Chain A
């Protein structure tokens, strides 16, 4: 049985390699910006930041809950107050952009999205877990405007970054909540 030990050695090396590769891919998946990473949920942020930011995030959560329940007016009111309270909260503008996209108001949605960009950018760049939403909503705005090429490109980028959420090219209030 001269070949047996060699084969078993090979198998163990193969196993080790597989384990290492598996670990590496797991680690890669966990890295910021890695494709497939779960994008941000506003409800995760309610305990972050100073009291003003926390209250603003709570208002966003209340708004998203109302939005998901079909109470548009209440949702919009909550988003407006979240901005009034903390005008530097980029998530408030992001949430508002989603609201306007769903109502197919491209101009308003673009304005909110621009402000989202500006605030994230001014704060050091887009967090990786927000990227898919910002790009996807940008694509949705282009789709409303009828710019199919740009829309398809951005929505595809969003889908690659967050396939679970953006697989259907749509971000619901529940998914952002």
Chain B
């Protein structure tokens, strides 16, 4: 029955579906159909299983993907979001009555710090960070300077100027007279990572509301209401793009822009857009709107400054307007918002007209969205762009930055310096640094022009040089130029090079001979030295020093011997004092390099760095107190405080009397000797120094100092070979160019004479004390008790016994109870 019914049913169905019966009978097609059905069912099941498996795998993969994206988002948001390069700042500039506004280029200093000139009547208010300039009156509203220990308030200062000098300074509004004010430090450079991003972080609460309003008005008006993606905006962008026949408008929300900048590449693919949208949703789920907005304000790219990129509104405020984001006006805020779309194309420096149009568009959008009123719109639109001059990082301070980095404690490694946003305050005087860089380049270029033999077409083989200036009383390095082109060679010829010093070493020999700490000095300034043939036996054979002019000069006064840089006299003096004493004196002065204990050391065969030479001369300039040359003032971490600061260190290593007498000899070198070119070039005042030229004129030195500044100039080739020029011709013009720019042609101050040094009239021919009847006399200095005992009268010199009695106690000995 069952089968019959089945057959019948099957037939009926078959007749309905397939009217043409196959020729091979009824039973076989039924079986085939059943098989077919089973096959279909099995395959359907298989397909379903595959789909289920695939769905499972896709679920796992997408789940993992989502989890991965979520983790990425959280890590970036909850960990350190930004790598902020640490910045290095110069020392502040101090303005005071008597300050030369002309020489110190006050206007340039203000402009470089981002101050802007503002016109207006005399009594009208002046914003912070602005100045008003007229020939005899300058008004500056100094910005506040924030520092854990050296903060300065904002001050409105008016200066009366006459003949290029500040005559008087008063603080407004009260008109109180002020003695000195500080211009905040200038940025010298920064320790960038490979991305070379500049960023100054801001907190949302420190940003004026009109800045966020301007950004939201133009970039994402529904930011407060959307969930990370904005379908309305996407639809609008699609319609606009369709009409334009290309991509003219983006539909990205501010969150999507942030996600793109934070995590993704700028490629335009569907996959990237999908990832961006999902991540934007995740960001919105995880974080509140203020956190997202703050991250955006700090991340957004806003243009280029030299070789670095400007990120975030904090940095952009400083870059464009030289002020903090908190101080931005409505118009300035609108400009920042305006350039987000295309910072380079809309750059107000390059395309001010386009930038103004775009800024006004932003202002109008703000008005349309009722973020500002009509009066504010009109006022802001009328405002000029007012962007500050671009202050490119002064590249010529990069040798200094390298030195500073080497002087920083080891904890400040690259990771820390390139990410932690530290503020590193240095000793650099940027005005002097620029002057040093200019003087070196001008000097070397002039030498190449005047002496074609030193010119080289190979950039790696060019004539090189170094200029280093430090303050002897504190050891602060004020300027350092370690070569002509940092881009070409980062080798610092001031601090890393060690070169033969030549005659620059001789003052150490004379200082050892003048030193009375062990009792009686070997010489006084009235002594004579024999400049005659000298032969010293050494393990390498006899050594016979020669003078530059290949002549011997016989018995010469000490002053003449050093003023004319006589080699044989210095070598003989070195032998008399003892090379060990000479080495000891060099060490006391601050030389740390290896010093060969050979007779020729007295003539400067030791290889020293310009930095240690500067330190040794600074000890002389500082009355025998040895300073520690340093480039760092302090390191400040944002929101933490001062992490490190240098403490000044001094060490009394030679008597003030010895330092003064050696300085006196070196004054003679400048007044009458091998460095007299300095006087011929118009420099006046207390200057001491020594030239140095090594064999074959390979190394050309001049070390000169005033009471407040020690400056070393070195000229030569990296691969030592003859320059063929004297140090007087090569190094002195660079020194004069720099020092006259730094301190003026007339230097300030005198080398103070210590209590234990006394002046006597002496007979220059005999070195005896000059009585009133002595035919000739000049004034000479002696440590108390070391003055000559012989007396010159009209009738000749009357000899006395002991020429060098034990010297008297100095005031230091007395005060220290010695």
Enumerate chain A interface residues (CB-CB to B < 8 A).
46, 50-52, 54-59, 61-62, 73-74, 76-77, 80-81, 83-85, 87-88, 107-108, 111-112, 114-115, 117-119, 121-126, 134-135, 138, 153
| Smallest CB-CB A-B distances: 7 pairs | A51-B98, A58-B179, A55-B96, A77-B150, A87-B473, A123-B752, A122-B623
**Which of B269-277, B363-371, B646-654 is the interface stretch?**
B646-654
Contact indicator B474/A81 (Cβ below 8 Å): no
Which residues on A sit within 8 Å (CB–CB) of B810? 121
Contact indicator A54/B97 (Cβ below 8 Å): yes
Indicate the member of A80, A119, A121, A124 with the most B CB atoms within 10 Å. Answer: A121
Contact indicator B94/A81 (Cβ below 8 Å): yes
Known: A117-B815, A126-B811. Is A88-B180 also a contact (CB below 8 A)?
A: no
Given contacts A119-B752, A121-B623, 16 further A-B contacts (CB under 8 A): A46-B179, A51-B97, A55-B97, A74-B150, A77-B149, A77-B151, A81-B94, A85-B94, A85-B96, A88-B473, A88-B708, A88-B749, A88-B752, A107-B647, A117-B812, A118-B652
CB of B43 within 8 Å of the partner chain: no
Which residues on A sit within 8 Å (CB–CB) of B150? 73-74, 76-77, 80
In the assembled complex, the Cα of A51 lies from the Cα of B754 at a distance in Å of 24
List B731-776 residues whose CB lies under 8 Å from chain A.
748-749, 751-755
Checking B624, B647, B754, B815 against A135 with a beta-carbon cut-off of 8 angstroms, the contacting residue is B815
Which residues on A sit within 8 Å (CB–CB) of B147? 77
Which residues on A sit within 8 Å (CB–CB) of B472? 87
Contact indicator B94/A55 (Cβ below 8 Å): yes
Contact indicator A121/B179 (Cβ below 8 Å): no
CB of B234 within 8 Å of the partner chain: no
Checking B180, B647, B754 against A59 with a beta-carbon cut-off of 8 angstroms, the contacting residue is B180
Known: A55-B96, A134-B815. Is A111-B649 also a contact (CB below 8 A)?
A: yes
Enumerate chain B interface residues (CB-CB to A < 8 A).
91-92, 94, 96-99, 147-152, 178-180, 182, 471-474, 476, 622-625, 647-650, 652, 656, 660, 707-708, 748-749, 751-755, 810-812, 815, 817
- State the Cβ distance, A57 to closest chain B Cβ, in Å: 8
Contact indicator A87/B625 (Cβ below 8 Å): no
Indicate the member of B150, B660, B810 with the most A CB atoms within 10 Å. Answer: B150
Known: A81-B180, A85-B180. Is A52-B649 also a contact (CB below 8 A)?
A: no
How many A-B residue contacts, CB cutoff 8 Å?
A: 124
6 CB < 8 A contacts A-B: A51-B97, A51-B98, A52-B98, A87-B472, A124-B755, A134-B815
Contact indicator B149/A114 (Cβ below 8 Å): no
Contact indicator B474/A83 (Cβ below 8 Å): yes
In the assembled complex, the Cα of A112 lies from the Cα of B474 at a distance in Å of 10
Which residues on B sit within 8 Å (CB–CB) of A77? 147, 149-152
Closest to A107 in B: B647
- State the Cβ distance, A71 to closest chain B Cβ, in Å: 10
- State the Cβ distance, B40 to closest chain A Cβ, in Å: 88
In the assembled complex, the Cα of A111 lies from the Cα of B817 at a distance in Å of 18
Known: A73-B150, A88-B473. Is A122-B811 also a contact (CB below 8 A)?
A: no
Contact indicator A108/B812 (Cβ below 8 Å): no
- State the Cβ distance, B815 to closest chain A Cβ, in Å: 7
Which residues on A sit within 8 Å (CB–CB) of B99? 51, 55
Indicate the member of B149, B179, B810 with the most A CB atoms within 10 Å. Answer: B179
Which residues on B sit within 8 Å (CB–CB) of A121? 623, 656, 754-755, 810-812
- State the Cβ distance, A109 to closest chain B Cβ, in Å: 11
Known: A59-B180, A84-B91, A123-B752. Is A50-B811 also a contact (CB below 8 A)?
A: no
Contact indicator A108/B647 (Cβ below 8 Å): yes
- State the Cβ distance, B731 to closest chain A Cβ, in Å: 25
In the assembled complex, the Cα of A163 lies from the Cα of B479 at a distance in Å of 46
Which residues on A sit within 8 Å (CB–CB) of B752? 88, 119, 122-124
Which residues on B sit within 8 Å (CB–CB) of A81? 92, 94, 180, 182
Which residues on B sit within 8 Å (CB–CB) of A80? 150
Which residues on B sit within 8 Å (CB–CB) of A119? 473, 623, 752
Checking B179, B623, B650 against A54 with a beta-carbon cut-off of 8 angstroms, the contacting residue is B179
Known: A118-B625, A122-B754. Is A88-B96 also a contact (CB below 8 A)?
A: no
Which residues on A sit within 8 Å (CB–CB) of B476? 84
In the assembled complex, the Cα of A76 lies from the Cα of B98 at a distance in Å of 24
Which residues on A sit within 8 Å (CB–CB) of B650? 111, 114-115, 118
In the assembled complex, the Cα of A56 lies from the Cα of B755 at a distance in Å of 24
Contact indicator B98/A50 (Cβ below 8 Å): yes
Closest to B153 in A: A74
Known: A54-B98, A121-B623. Is A111-B648 also a contact (CB below 8 A)?
A: yes
Checking A54, A74, A87, A126 against B708 with a beta-carbon cut-off of 8 angstroms, the contacting residue is A87
- State the Cβ distance, A49 to closest chain B Cβ, in Å: 10
In the assembled complex, the Cα of A80 lies from the Cα of B151 at a distance in Å of 13
In the assembled complex, the Cα of A46 lies from the Cα of B97 at a distance in Å of 12
Contact indicator B94/A84 (Cβ below 8 Å): yes
Contact indicator A55/B473 (Cβ below 8 Å): no
Which residues on A sit within 8 Å (CB–CB) of B622? 118
- State the Cβ distance, A98 to closest chain B Cβ, in Å: 15
Known: A73-B150, A87-B708, A118-B622. Is A58-B649 also a contact (CB below 8 A)?
A: no
Known: A54-B179, A62-B179, A121-B656. Is A74-B151 also a contact (CB below 8 A)?
A: yes
Indicate the member of A76, A88, A117, A138 with the most B CB atoms within 10 Å. Answer: A88
